[in-house]
Amino acid sequence: MNQPSRPDVFQYSDHREFLGVYHDYLRTQDPKYSHRFIAYQVGAASSGWFANVVAGRIGLTRANLFRVAKLLRLRSQEREYLCLLLDFSTAETLEEKNAYAEKMLSLKGLKAHTLTRDQFAFYSKWYISAIRELLFIYDFSDNYAALAGMLNPAITVANHSTRLARVQCPCMDRKTDGQS
Average pLDDT value for residue range 141-157: 79
Give the pLDDT score at 154: 79
How far apart are alpha carbons 107 and 36 in whole angstroms? 31
pLDDT surpasses 90 at 17: yes
Q: Name the average pLDDT for the chain.
A: 81
In the chain, the percentage of residues whose pLDDT exceeds 90 is 31
Give the pLDDT score at 151: 83
pLDDT-based confidence at residue 140 (cuts at 50, 70, 90):
confident
How far apart are alpha carbons 124 and 122 in whole angstroms? 6
Cα Rg of the chain, angstroms: 24
- Delimit the domains of the chain by residue range: 9-108, 117-177
Q: Give the residue with greater pLDDT, 118 vs 175.
A: 118
* DSSP E strands, the chain: none
Average pLDDT value for residue range 23-33: 91
Q: CA of 38: how far to CAs of 2, 20, 59, in Å?
A: 26, 12, 16
pLDDT surpasses 50 at 73: yes
Q: CA of 149: how far to CAs of 134, 144, 152, 178, in Å?
A: 11, 8, 8, 28
